[in-house]
Amino acid sequence: DAGITQSPRYKITETGRQVTLMCHQTWSHSYMFWYRQDLGHGLRLIYYSAAADITDKGEVPDGYVVSRSKTENFPLTLESATRSQTSVYFCATGTFEQYFGPGTRLTVT
C-alpha cells in the first residue's frame, strides 16, 4: 500500500505536445493538490480539489487542466507543453497535513 503514487516519474516531451501526469492515492482523502517546484520559487500550487468533481485554481494554473472523477485520482494535463513548464511536479493529499507523492520530473524540449 503505497499511499500516494505518481506516474510517470520522468518524462521528456516536445513543445506543443499534450502531457498528462497521474496521481493516485489510497487513503480516501478528500483534498488533493498539484504543485510545481522550481529553483528560486519553491513549491507553488497549480490546482487543488476538495472532492470528486470539485476543483479550483491555485497560484499558477495557466496552461494546466485538471479533472477529478474519482476520489483516488487527480490527473494534471498540460494541454500544449511549453519550455517554461519544465519542472518537478508533486501531487499531495490530506487535510491540513499534506502528504506528498514521489514527484514527476518533466522536461519540455
- By CB under 8 A, tell whether 10 contacts other proteins: no
- The pairs formed by 41-46 with CB atoms below 8 angstroms and a separation of 24 or more are 43/90, 46/76, 46/89
Residues in the interface with other proteins (CB under 8 A) total 21
Q: DSSP character for 97?
A: S
- By CB under 8 A, tell whether 90 contacts other proteins: yes
Taking alpha carbons only, the member of 104, 80, 83 closest to residue 92 is: 104
Q: For residues 10 and 69, which CB has a smaller minimum distance to other proteins in the complex?
A: 10
- By CB under 8 A, tell whether 103 contacts other proteins: yes
35-64 residues in contact with other proteins (CB under 8 A) are 40-45, 48, 50, 58
Q: Are 16 and 81 in contact (CB under 8 A)?
A: yes
Using CB under 8 A, which of the segments 10-18, 20-28, 76-84, 91-99 binds other proteins? 91-99
Whole-angstrom CA distances from 31 to 49, 65, 100, 106 are 6, 17, 12, 24
Which chain residues interact with other proteins by CB under 8 A? 31, 33, 40-45, 48, 50, 58, 90, 95-103
